[in-house]
Structure 1
Amino acid sequence: MMERLLRYMRQLPIKWKLALGATALIFLLFATYNFAQYLVLKQWMMNQERDNIQVSMAQIQDYFQEKYHTEDALQITESRAYLEKMIGKNQLVRIVGKEGEPLLTVTNHFDENWVTPKSITEPELFDTTHNEDHILIYRSPIQTANFAGTIELASNLETFDLFSETLLWVMLIGGVLAIFISAFSGLAIARQLMHPIRALTSTIRSVKEKGLTERVGNIQNGDELSSLAQLFNELMNQLEISFRQQKQFVEDASHELRTPITILEGHLSLLNRWGKSNPEVLEESLQASLQEIRRMKGLVQELLTLTRVESQLLTEISKPIPLVPLIHETLDRFEALHSEFEFQLKTESIEDVLISISPLHLEQILLIVLDNAVKYSANDKRIVIEGLRLKTDVQIIVRDHGIGIPEADLPYVFDRFYRVDKARNREIAGTGLGLSIANQSVRNYSGEMTIESVENEGTSVSIKLPISPSVH
C-alpha cells in the first residue's frame, strides 16, 4: 500500500507535488506547535489548580490551629459557617477523625460519596476520576491541643476539563483551517511558479512541431525561472542563427564545389572522347582540370582553417608582443606581391603597444583584410593602414578606395561563402571564407571587427584588440 502511494506521488505533476509538500510542511509545523502549546497550557492550568487547593488548605489549617488549640474536638462542628464561606463551587471540605470517621462535611455542588474518608499522617495531593468526573484531592493531617485528624479538600475539575477540551477543539479546528489555507495558498504559489515552466514546455513543443522560430512569451517576474525562459530564448536565437548559417553554408559550399566538379566532369568527358589522340585537347583539359583541383584544394584548406579558428582556445595565446613591428613585416611581404599599389602606414600613436596574440594569427588577419582591399580596388590603388590607441584597446584600420559594399550586404559580409554581387563573383578569385576566418580569429582574442563602406567610394575595416595589461 505504501509503495503504491509513493509510486502515485512520484507520478503527480510538479504543481501538485509543491502544493502537497507545502501543505504537509505547514500542517506538521502547526500541529507540532499547537500540541506543544496545548500540553504546556494544560500543565500550567493543573499547577494553578494545585496551588489554589494548597492555599485553601493552608487557610483552613491556620483557622483550626488558631481557634481550637485549647478546645475539645467535638466543637469543631461550629466551624461549618466559616467553611461554607470560604469553600468554592464544585468543592468539598471534610474533617476526618483519627479513625477515619467523618466529623464535618461541607460541600458546594459536590457529592461527598465521590471521595472516601481517610485518615493520614503525611500530606498527599493527587487527582483521580470518579465515573466521568475528574477530581483533585488534597489530604493533610491536623493536630491541635485536644484533636488529631485529617482535613480533606477536594475539587471537581469540571471547569478545567471543559476549558482543556475547548482549547483542544479550537486548536484542531484551527489546524484544519490551516490545512485548507495552506493547500490553497500552496496551489496558488505552485501555479505561479509553474507558469514559466508551462510556457517553456509549450514553446519546446511548438519548436518541435513548427521549427526554431518559436519563443517563450514575455515573462518578467525577475526570478530564476524567468531567467531560465530568457536564457532559453537566447539559446533558440543562437540555434536559429546557427541553423540558418549552416543551411547557407551547405548551399554555398554545394554551389562552390558544383562548378569545379562540373568543369572536371566536362574535361574528363572531352578527354575520353577526343583527348586520347589529340594532344591539344589533352593539354587544354589537363590544365583546366588542374586549375579546378587547385581551386577545390584551396576551398577545402580554408574550410579546415575556419574550423580550427572556431575551436581555438584562449589558452593558446602567447605572451605579449610588439604590435607595430609585426604590422611592418606583414605589409612588407604583402607589398612585394602587389607593387602596383600604394600603401600608406600611420602607426605613430601605437609604437609602444603590446598585445597578447599569436603572431601567425595576427598576420593571417591582416593578410585577409589587405587581400580583400587589393581585390576590390581596381582603379584607385591607394590603401591606408592606420593604428589608433584607445583607452584599453588598439584599433587597426585598413581603408581602401575601391568599389565598396552595398549597404544591404554589410550585415552579411562575415557569413561563410557570402560574396557581394554573386553574378560577378567569378571575375574575382575567392571563396567568401576569408572575412569569416578573420572575424572569428579576432573574436577569439576578445576583439571586435567591423566594416564600414560606401558604394563606389571605398571600404574601411576596423580591427579592435585589447592592449596587454602589462603596459597599463
Structure 2
Amino acid sequence: MKKLSIKLGILFFIIIFGLLSSMFFFLHIGIADNRIEEELHALQARGNSHKVVLEKHFTQETIAHVVLMESESTTDVVIVDPDGEVLGASGSIQKFEKYLTIPTETKILEDNWQEEPYIATVSPIGETGQIKGYVFMFENTKSVHSLMESLNEHFLLAGWVSVFFTVIIIIFLSKGITKPLLKMKEATYQISKGDFSVSLPITSKDELGDLANSIETLATELSYLKEQRNEFLASISHELRTPLTYIKGYADIVSKRNLSDEERNKYLNIIKEETDRLTGLIKELFDLAQMDQNTFVIEKERIQLSPFLKKLEEKITRAFEQEFKLSCEPNIEVIADPVKLEQILINLLDNARKYSAKGSTVKLEAWKNRNSTHIVIADNGKGIPEKDLPYIFNRFYRVEKSRTRSLGGTGLGLAIVQELVHAHGGEITVTSIEHHGTRFEIIFKGE
C-alpha cells in the first residue's frame, strides 16, 4: 500500500462509508419507528371508529356486524363488557387472552412488534363513568415484520448502490488529487538528477496550483544557482590562476637567472603585488562565506555621520586624481558598524575612482529624509551599460569582460557591499547612464 492514491481512496472510503452507514442507520430507525407508529395509530383509529358505532348502537347485532367486518380484514377485534366478558371476537379468543386487561382510557396495549405476535390497542365504549364495554384491536406482527423486511431490502439496495457510486467517485477523486502530485514527484526527481527544465501545468488556483508554481520557481532558482556556481567556479579558478601564474613565473625568473638588483627588485615587487591581490581575493571570499553562513558579526553603534565622512575623506583623497566633493547635513546620526560602513563606502568610492577620468568629479552626499538616512556616491565617469545593471551585484560579475589588470578588482566588491548593506537592514540601488556616470544610493531606514 505504497501508492498515495490507494491510501487516499481507502481513507475516503472509510470516512464516506462511515457517514453513509450512520446516516442509513438513523434513517432506518426513524422510518421503522414512524411506520410502526403509523400502524399503531391506524389500528387505534380503526378501534375508535368501531367504538363510535357501538356507542350509538350497543346491540348484539351491531357487535356481530363489527366482528364480521374485522374477520374479513388483516386485523382482529375483541369486544368485551365492563366486567371483561367477551361479547364478540373475530378470531380465537385464546390468542388474545393475555392482552385483555381492563383499562381506564383509550391506549396502546402492546407495541413490541419485534418480540410479540400482536400489536394491540383498546378503546372504551361510552363516556367515563358509564362504560358499556371495550373494543380491543389486534394486528399480527407478521405484517409488520414483512413491512420491515421490505424496508430493509430497499435500504440494502440503496446501500449497495451508494457504495458502488462512492467507490467510483473515490477512484476519480483520488486520481484527480494524486495525478498532479505524481507529476510533481516526477518533476522533483528530475530536479534531484540535475534536470531543471521541468514544466508543470497549473490547472487550479488552490494549494496544488501553488505547490506546482513553487516547484517551477524552485527549478528556475536551482538552475540559476547552478549557472552561478559554474560561473563562480570558473571565475574563482581564473582569479586564483592569474596571480599564481605571475608569482610562479617571476619566482622562476628570480631564482634561475642572473639579474641585476634593479630587475630583481622589479620582479619581486610584481610578486608582492600579486600576493597582495591573492590575499585580498581570499579575504573577500572568506567574508562572503561568513555572510552566507550568517556568522558575519555586525557591531552597530551610533555614528555622527558628518565627522565620520570627513575622516573618510582624509583617508581617500590622496588616491584620487578626480575632484572629490563631500556634502553632509549636520547632526545626522546613523546606527551602523563603523568598520563595515567604511568598507562599504571605500568600495564604492574606489569603483568611482577607477572608472572616472582624471579631472572628473566624484561626489559623496548624505542627508536625512524623515525616518531614513540617504548616502549617495555619484560620478560622471564611464557609466554602466543598461544590459549590465541587473547583474553588477552578482559575484565575479564584471562589466569589463577583458579583466584588465589596470582596473584590478575581483568582481566581488559590489557583492560584498550589497551583503553588508542588507546586514544593516538597509537598501542599495544603482542608476547609470553609459558615458555619463553612475549613482549608488544607500538607504538606512528607521534611523
1:294-328 deviation line (CA, Å, top 9, x unaligned)? 22112111212222344447994635544444333
* Residue 246 (structure 1) aligned with residue 229 (structure 2): yes
* Residue 409 (structure 1) aligned with residue 394 (structure 2): no
CA distance in 1 between partners of 2:96 and 2:381 (Å):
126
- The answer to whether the 8 A contact 2:113-2:141 is kept is no
Q: In the superposition, relative to structure 1, how do residues 181 and 383 fare at CA in structure 2: closer, same or farther (>3 Å)?
A: same
In the other structure, the counterpart of 1:25 is: 15
CA distance in 2 between partners of 1:190 and 1:442 (Å):
50
Q: In the superposition, relative to structure 1, how do residues 354 and 86 fare at CA in structure 2: closer, same or farther (>3 Å)?
A: farther
Alpha-carbon shift at residue 371 of structure 1 (Å): 0.8
Q: In the superposition, relative to structure 1, how do residues 330 and 180 fare at CA in structure 2: closer, same or farther (>3 Å)?
A: farther
- The answer to whether the 8 A contact 1:356-1:467 is kept is no
CA distance in 2 between partners of 1:328 and 1:256 (Å):
34
Pairing 1:89-128 to 2, within 5 Å after superposition: 89-94=73-78, 104-106=88-90, 112=91, 116=95, 118=97, 125=110
Aligned length: 437
CA distance in 2 between partners of 1:420 and 1:78 (Å):
121
The alignment's TM-score, normalised by the length of structure 1, stands at: 0.77
The alignment's TM-score, normalised by the length of structure 2, stands at: 0.81
In the other structure, the counterpart of 1:447 is: 426
- The answer to whether the 8 A contact 1:18-1:187 is kept is no
Select 1:299's aligned residue among 249, 261, 281: 281
User: Structure 1 vs Structure 2: percent identity of aligned residues?
Assistant: 26
* Structure 2 counterpart SS, 1:356: strand
Q: Which runs of 5+ in 2 are unaligned?
A: 104-108, 126-131
CA distance in 2 between partners of 1:127 and 1:22 (Å):
39
In the other structure, the counterpart of 1:219 is: 202
Select 1:193's aligned residue among 169, 177, 180: 177
RMSD: 4.0
- The answer to whether the 8 A contact 1:314-1:445 is kept is no
Pairing 1:306-317 to 2, within 5 Å after superposition: 306-312=288-294, 316=298
Q: In the superposition, relative to structure 1, how do residues 281 and 369 fare at CA in structure 2: closer, same or farther (>3 Å)?
A: closer
Q: In the superposition, relative to structure 1, how do residues 41 and 424 fare at CA in structure 2: closer, same or farther (>3 Å)?
A: closer
Select 2:402's aligned residue among 386, 411, 423: 423
Q: In the superposition, relative to structure 1, how do residues 91 and 315 fare at CA in structure 2: closer, same or farther (>3 Å)?
A: farther
- The answer to whether the 8 A contact 2:363-2:379 is kept is yes
2:110 partner letter: L
In the other structure, the counterpart of 1:333 is: 315
Q: Tell me whether 254-263 or 403-412 shows the greater mean CA deviation.
A: 403-412
In the other structure, the counterpart of 2:242 is: 259
- The answer to whether the 8 A contact 1:379-1:402 is kept is no
Alpha-carbon shift at residue 101 of structure 1 (Å): 10
Alpha-carbon shift at residue 174 of structure 1 (Å): 2.5
- The answer to whether the 8 A contact 2:191-2:219 is kept is no
* Residue 342 (structure 1) aligned with residue 332 (structure 2): no
2:361 partner letter: R
2:33 partner letter: Q
* Residue 171 (structure 1) aligned with residue 152 (structure 2): no
Q: Which runs of 5+ in 1 are unaligned?
A: 1-7, 69-74, 107-111, 143-147
CA distance in 2 between partners of 1:51 and 1:424 (Å):
104
Alpha-carbon shift at residue 282 of structure 1 (Å): 5.2
- The answer to whether the 8 A contact 2:67-2:89 is kept is no
* Structure 2 counterpart SS, 1:372: helix
* Residue 46 (structure 1) aligned with residue 36 (structure 2): yes
Alpha-carbon shift at residue 140 of structure 1 (Å): 9.4
In the other structure, the counterpart of 1:5 is: none
